[in-house]
Amino acid sequence: MRLLLIDEDPRQRALIRHHVSCRWPEAEVSNYGIQQRGPLPQEFLAQGYDAVLLAHDPESSSTLEFLQDLPARNGFAPVIFLADPEARFLLDEAQSAGVFAVLPRARVDHEKFIATIEAAAQRHQRLLADWRVSPEAEESRRFGDARIPGYRRARLLARGSVSHLYVAESEKAASLVVLKVTPSVRDESGVDQSFNRFLQEYEIAQRVRHPSIVRLYEFGVADDHAYLAMEYFPQGDLRRRMRIGISPFEALAISAQIARVLVAIHGAGILHRDLKPGNIMLRNDGQIALIDFGLAKHAALEYEVTDTGLIFGTPHYMSPEQGHGQELDVRSDLYSLGVLLFEMLSGHKPFTADNPMAIIYLHRNSPVPELPAHLQALQPLINKLLAKQPADRYPSAQVAVQEIEAARTAWLAAGTLT
């Protein structure tokens, strides 16, 4: 039994878990906190759950919004509404909204509660069985030219030259995921570069267990396409966050988080080689998650997915040595971190030009740009991270963490969080 519980009251959650576990000791009850996470994403249909338990929160007006929204989603799992008899208007609304059942929230009748959940689960499984053989379901499993069982396509997220990203719902994970899908293509030597990059990305994420690294759920092949199922980030990436505006204090906090995850991956012998705003995702709690290890270099892997001397990455965020196809070490990622920090502080990239090669030239030959006058206290940090020669940068990500945190403490001591 797998249930999604939407309830803000910890005591009530514990009571419901007790009733459920008495009948199904191995049941999975996942809690969704409205106050912390907001509305459920519109693409989510909870099809991986047997039922959804929605409890009335007297302290919030969101219960009515959920009542009107969730049952109306075509294919959404059965909703069992838990409310006190005093909330008469909500009980009437629940009935008209099409919930599966309404039960008391406080005084739970165990037998009726369990019987209702069983009935909801049976109905859901019947409807899912019918849906799985429908033309609609068959179409929902198509991701470009690939048919990937176990996933329902919600929408195209991004279209790239090598791979496409889709928001999909996984029945197995009972959540929205991002599916990264790319054609399987072999070069003249018989090596499938796309497959190798996907495999490397999966291998690295599995080897380095860190809270600030994207969670990868599955790696597979379908219809001559490789795919990765990974964590979905409703808050988007750092680029989206920068459009809203980031204070210097926040920029330092985010940079410190990035530096800490670099400590972890560098300690595992990995260079990321493609740090950029689009690869820094934001979770609901404000923490970052590093994604896209397709261009990373792992000293322990038996294969190398790039050729020596070739340039891979994003020119705006490349170190001078990376832009010229030279040997890289951990200090190259620190340079990219410096570019990110400068952009968050100033609102623009340190070097821009009309073409990629011109940008690469500027990284190697132009002086480190100056921050605005009110941010001059942070210029030494930028100068060190963006030093042209690796030997002039911080020697490790750990040292960078210490220096960024020191700058953050000094900024706070100056009496401002802006």
pLDDT digits (tens, 9 = 90+) for 37-92: 778 888 999 999 999 999 987 777 777 888 889 999 988 999 999 988 777 777 88
Q: Exactly one of 7, 192, 274, 292 is catalytic; which is it?
A: 274
CATH number of the domain to which 298 belongs: 1.10.510.10
Contacting residues for 43 by C-beta, under 8 A, at least 6 apart = 154, 155, 167, 169, 176
Q: Does pLDDT of 363 surpass 80?
A: yes
What pLDDT is recorded for position 297? Answer: 62
User: Domain check: are 200 and 256 in the same one?
Assistant: no
Q: How many domains does the chain have?
A: 3
Report if residue 75 sits inside a domain.
yes
What pLDDT sits at residue 86?
Answer: 75
What lies within 8 Å, CB to CB, of 130 at 6+ separation is none
Q: From 182, 210, 231, give the residue that closes a domain.
A: 231
Nearest partner of 168 among 159, 187, 181, judged by Cα: 181
Question: 180-192 pLDDT, tens per residue?
Answer: 898 765 555 444 5
Encoded tokens for 52: 């959804």
Helix 397-413 / helix 248-267 crossing angle, nearest 10 deg: 160
Q: Do residue 285 and residue 389 come from a single domain?
A: yes
The residues pairing with 177 across neighbouring beta strands, listed in sequence order, are: 168, 231
Q: Which of 4-18, 72-86, 384-398 shows the highest mean pLDDT?
A: 384-398
| Residue found under tokens 């176990």 | 150
Q: Are residues 291 and 321 in the same domain?
A: yes
What is the pLDDT, as a whole number, of residue 418? 58
Q: Are residues 243 and 207 in the same domain?
A: no
Shared-domain flag, residues 331 and 286: yes
Q: What is the mean pLDDT of residues 220-243?
A: 90
Give yes or no: 274 in active site.
yes
CATH number of the domain at 157, please. Answer: 3.30.200.20
Q: Are 292 and 213 in contact (CB under 8 A)?
A: no
Provide, rounded to the nearest whole percent, the portion of the chain with pLDDT above 90.
56
Residue 168 lies in a domain: yes
Domain boundary among 198, 231, 264: 231
pLDDT on residue 301: 43
Same domain, residue pair 263 and 387: yes
Tens of pLDDT, residue by residue over 133-169, are 899 999 999 998 899 999 999 999 888 777 889 999 9
Residues 61 and 179 in one domain: no
CB 311 within 8 A of CB 359: no
| pLDDT for residue 209 | 79
- 383 within domain boundaries: yes
Q: Which domain holds residue 199?
A: 141-231
Residue 191: predicted pLDDT: 43
Phi/psi of residue 193, nearest 5 degrees? -65, -40
The runs of H, that is alpha helices, within 110-157 are: 110-132, 135-140
In a shared domain, residues 258 and 377: yes
> What band does 296 get if pLDDT is binned at 50, 70 and 90?
low
- pLDDT value at residue 298: 52
Per the domain annotation, does 418 fall within a domain?
A: no
pLDDT of residue 40: 87
Q: What is the pLDDT of residue 193?
A: 63
The CA distance from 388 to 121, in Å, is 62
In this structure, the answer to whether residues 265 and 385 fall within a common structural domain is yes
Domain CATH for 37: 3.40.50.2300
Q: Indicate if 8 and 116 belong to the same structural domain.
A: yes
